[in-house]
Structure 1
């Protein structure tokens, strides 16, 4: 009996530690420095930042002098641009440097309020948080290539979904450079670079592409969620943190195909080379002006020679948008991108997490609400584990019935621990009770719980997904609080800082009550100390889950209620054993 209680207690505490780890020991979010600057141009692949561009090397512009950060609209108005008006993205391409540095996501807003601002993914240098992508030709053997200040000529003023725009520039030395940028119906840009050599001598051309982010972004800081540089390069998934890259300065890997970029919780900017092309993929860190760090993910293609009168062409794709599961999967399948779906952090239980999401997504399509999908999926999970739970609850119910006899044994042989254990095992054998059977469902359901947690926490489909009543976002904590009697008192809840978990909402409290009721149906530990610890578990979990996503709390509450109904039914059907 004691061994079983210790096991259950260990499992419960393990869940608490694993769930609470991200709150009590979070990966420290790095905040951008308060100094404002116009971070200048980053280097192209293959070269560290230099105080000035040196002819004959891979192009890299110096960091621009520190100036006052300006409004985004003002910066965008400073240079000629080609407007982007896709079905799902808006923004512009900067003709100065031919950069994609202005991308806004049409379908996503900053808050649950549909009138709030749309999510801004890319912003140009000169704004507070520069973030952009570009493709180019590295400078080799004295070839005059377009740089960050080159002004290109466009063949049209707007890029729409299903269309393309071609940018052109003549270096005046016999070479004509073109960049054709196409946009599909979602978030994928296709950038085709061509160089025509009209000169008298052969030239060497080395294409590159990069995604650059100026300033260390404020991340959510959760251990279970990767935010930062990411990619499948050299045949393996790479997920270094911002601090890892800052410490290493550069990490370069030879790769055939794959992809590389920078990810946020719900958004991704990634470069996708042709999957049969050999490239050098790199993560880089540069110390920018005013101590503003610059992070870069880039690819450098192999150098090719272009004879006089000939031309060469290279293609790279840029994904700049939301990490929608089925959109990402469609790109992975259509373009053959190696493990592109891992841009979404499915976690250690990938084999379980993604199927659970797929089931929830299907149920949401049927029921029209992700909250109802969570409830329905919980029922399905309970049905799958029904035989196991049935055996477990029967054993636990018999254990509870035998509780008075066990207490008598402890009292009778209180000075003889060995005799107590012998008599307890004899009693279990007589009534065909397995004291460890009650632990098995808990152990089996731990991966399911964590997989569901990952789904609710990391998938963009759950972001701003409403339930009913006051739950407007299943991926956010219950917004109500006992401090103002759940909105009945006429004042808002103050910001409690690190003590935010004390602001309990309705659903966490309901979860705690359901956990307490379920615990009352289970056999109580004979040891008084263990009994008190078990009585505190509902309170502990109530406060722990008070700051968790409402969808997870709803799942746990509903799961507890189903378990209570199942266990109560079983207990009524088990005959009372004849004891002596």
Structure 2
């Protein structure tokens, strides 16, 4: 690498490191717009901890006229703050070896889900870890304004109704009886594979018709996986009857061109229709609700979570100081109940890891494509699914997940080896034919169309193609994007170590760069160096101007910029891929070009000798005359 290339590389790395601090300095997030806290035609933001207000809403709404079925028009407002826990709250815990459900009387729902087989944070230390306690486990729906499966009447987030909790065998009951004769009974039946079945019954026990107002069923809140989580992978998905819609953190941030922060949005209302299932998720865990009958709509809200404590900041200096969550609720229209009539709704509720095998079984049981939560939709999803299953199979044979990624990369390279070899040889022949091709360009430079036609005829005759070098890259792009898709949600890599990397699902940060306060991630830098090396060995395509050659030469720096803060597993795959390509190019470089490339070169004319053709005598006489 020449000195100019080194200078460009150094400045590119400096620019990469300084980009995010500069963006945060000159383009800070804008202040949330303050709108009305109450809108008669929209969602009303009230005190979620006010039990009296919740009961008053049911009473007042029962006396109003009938309402039409609709998805509410939601006003943009401040994100909600964590709710104050009612003083008279009681808890009931159901648990097994896999998880624990914490039920609350404030709202009669699931306050927290504790996943016993997963630790809250992955530890990157050679020291022996202390014994895992309950607080170390992953907790879903923790420290959020409302419990999952809480039922709101009349107004979204209008407080908690007081329920009575009791357990009968393995069934948990939550019951509320209002002064107007409206009775709500929730039955929870925990099952296997992180699934709990819920049946909600709304009954009119009075002697006169009652209007059940528009109501909402909370299905859970997406929260960060760790204190330093920026929320990039958090969001909500739902099936609208035609396909899966995905609403991520970027939708709420409302960034211009995906980079510059705009005016944030805090509420997402779905279009009126049907919701066959919905899920809130972070990178590795999801809370998924599957109604027996599709719901007519849903609303997702951005909420403010509690800032990190001093203890958390001590352990995680780069913790997110303003964490956000995304609370999801199914919406139902108002309905009039005659005395003794009931409304019954049943759900399957999944609260667990985004593990493909588990979600695939749930899809088969319910007939819904809930494994779409993995993000394996579309063309690249097929590759992501195949790569994940292959990685798990290799791991079953005793390989670590890091070695499994290396082995998959080797297998893929061997499959593409003949194609890449043929392509490299074609490019090598093209380089050898450059003098003749340049002669054709000079000969027909006044007629570009004829020049291009002659060049194509010449390359067809020599069995070379200018696209030969691009084909292997194009064919490997689906594999690369498949790896990218798979590694975004593969919980198997969470906490998996390899060499100096303690967690392949996260960037391999070795230390924070002094003064700049940004991480030093080694795998992306190694990946960029290997790709620069490979690019320097690749023969230039014929006809490519110097500017294009420079773009191709320094394109690896763009990959470093893009992948710098992505998972180490993806950078590991691309680094090994580049190194294997370098080995292959080294092997091909020493091969002879072959007769095909030299066939087009005009052979040198030999000196005339007696007997070499019919005109040898004439040539001989001419040479004698010159001597005289």
TM-score (norm 1): 0.71
Please tell me whether residue 121 in structure 1 is matched to residue 140 in structure 2: yes
Matches within 5 A, 1:162-561: 163-171=170-178, 176-195=183-202, 198-201=205-208, 203=210, 208-211=216-219, 220=230, 222=232, 227-240=234-247, 241-243=251-253, 247=265, 249=267, 251-256=269-274, 258-274=276-292, 277-285=293-301, 296-301=327-332, 308=339, 313-337=344-368, 339-346=369-376, 348=378, 349-403=380-434, 405=435, 409=439, 428-467=459-498, 469-480=499-510, 493-494=513-514, 496-497=516-517, 500=519, 503-505=520-522, 507-524=523-540, 527-538=545-556, 541-542=559-560, 545-561=563-579
Choose 196-205 or 415-424, whichever is displaced more.
Answer: 415-424
Query: Could you tell me how far apart the structure 2 residues matched to 1:332 and 1:390 are?
Result: 42
Choose 522-531 or 233-242, whichever is displaced more.
Answer: 522-531
Query: Could you tell me how far apart the structure 2 residues matched to 1:389 and 1:187 are?
Result: 45
- Between Structure 1 and Structure 2, whose CA radius of gyration is higher? 2
Query: Could you tell me how far apart the structure 1 residues matched to 2:386 and 2:575 are?
Result: 22
Query: C-alpha offsets along residues 100-156 of structure 1, whole Å, 9 cap, x if unaligned?
Result: 2222332323332276833332135xxxx535323437479xxxxxx9454333223
Residues 189 and 317 in structure 1, CA contact (< 8 A), matched pair in contact too: yes
SS at match of 2:118: strand
SS at match of 2:486: helix
Choose 210-219 or 103-112, whichever is displaced more.
Answer: 210-219
Residues 199 and 347 in structure 2, CA contact (< 8 A), matched pair in contact too: yes
Please tell me whether residue 108 in structure 1 is matched to residue 104 in structure 2: no
Query: Could you tell me how far apart the structure 2 residues matched to 1:133 and 1:253 are?
Result: 22
Matches within 5 A, 1:21-32: none
Choose 407-416 or 246-255, whichever is displaced more.
Answer: 407-416
Aligned-pair distance for 1:470? 0.9
Query: C-alpha offsets along residues 168-209 of structure 1, whole Å, 9 cap, x if unaligned?
Result: 344466565422122223433322223555543455557741
Of 153, 163, 176, the match for 2:164 = 153
Query: C-alpha offsets along residues 481-511 of structure 1, whole Å, 9 cap, x if unaligned?
Result: 6xxxxxxxxxx643735x64xx351x44443
Matches within 5 A, 1:37-76: 48-49=44-45, 53-54=56-57, 55-57=59-61
Aligned-pair distance for 1:443? 1.8
Query: Could you tell me how far apart the structure 2 residues matched to 1:355 and 1:130 are?
Result: 39
Residues 109 and 119 in structure 1, CA contact (< 8 A), matched pair in contact too: yes
Query: Could you tell me how far apart the structure 2 residues matched to 1:574 and 1:107 are?
Result: 58
Residues 301 and 328 in structure 2, CA contact (< 8 A), matched pair in contact too: no
SS at match of 1:438: coil
Query: Could you tell me how far apart the structure 2 residues matched to 1:472 and 1:287 are?
Result: 32
Relative distance call for 1:282 and 1:504 in structure 2 (3 A) is closer
The alignment's C-alpha RMSD in Å is 4.9
SS at match of 2:473: helix
Query: C-alpha offsets along residues 395-427 of structure 1, whole Å, 9 cap, x if unaligned?
Result: 122224445x36974997798795986775565
Residues 370 and 465 in structure 1, CA contact (< 8 A), matched pair in contact too: yes
Residues 229 and 261 in structure 1, CA contact (< 8 A), matched pair in contact too: yes
Aligned-pair distance for 1:57? 1.9
SS at match of 2:482: helix
Residues 277 and 294 in structure 2, CA contact (< 8 A), matched pair in contact too: no
Relative distance call for 1:353 and 1:315 in structure 2 (3 A) is same
Query: Could you tell me how far apart the structure 2 residues matched to 1:122 and 1:574 are?
Result: 64
Residues 230 and 239 in structure 1, CA contact (< 8 A), matched pair in contact too: yes
Query: Could you tell me how far apart the structure 1 residues matched to 2:566 and 2:198 are?
Result: 41
Of 127, 137, 145, the match for 1:130 = 145
Residues 166 and 181 in structure 1, CA contact (< 8 A), matched pair in contact too: yes
Aligned-pair distance for 1:448? 2.0
Query: Could you tell me how far apart the structure 2 residues matched to 1:268 and 1:559 are?
Result: 32
Residues 109 and 149 in structure 2, CA contact (< 8 A), matched pair in contact too: yes
Structure 2 portions without partners, runs of 5+:
1-15, 48-52, 64-71, 73-78, 124-128, 255-262, 307-321, 603-628
Aligned-pair distance for 1:554? 1.7
Aligned-pair distance for 1:94? 1.2
Query: Could you tell me how far apart the structure 2 residues matched to 1:246 and 1:437 are?
Result: 47
Query: Could you tell me how far apart the structure 2 residues matched to 1:76 and 1:198 are?
Result: 27
Of 82, 88, 100, the match for 2:92 = 82
Choose 357-366 or 407-416, whichever is displaced more.
Answer: 407-416
Aligned-pair distance for 1:555? 1.2
Aligned-pair distance for 1:231? 1.1
Aligned-pair distance for 1:258? 0.7
Residues 214 and 294 in structure 1, CA contact (< 8 A), matched pair in contact too: yes
Aligned-pair distance for 1:521? 3.7
SS at match of 1:260: strand
Residues 209 and 316 in structure 1, CA contact (< 8 A), matched pair in contact too: no
Residues 86 and 183 in structure 1, CA contact (< 8 A), matched pair in contact too: no
SS at match of 1:48: coil
Aligned-pair distance for 1:546? 4.2
Aligned-pair distance for 1:252? 4.2
Residues 511 and 557 in structure 1, CA contact (< 8 A), matched pair in contact too: yes
Relative distance call for 1:331 and 1:138 in structure 2 (3 A) is same
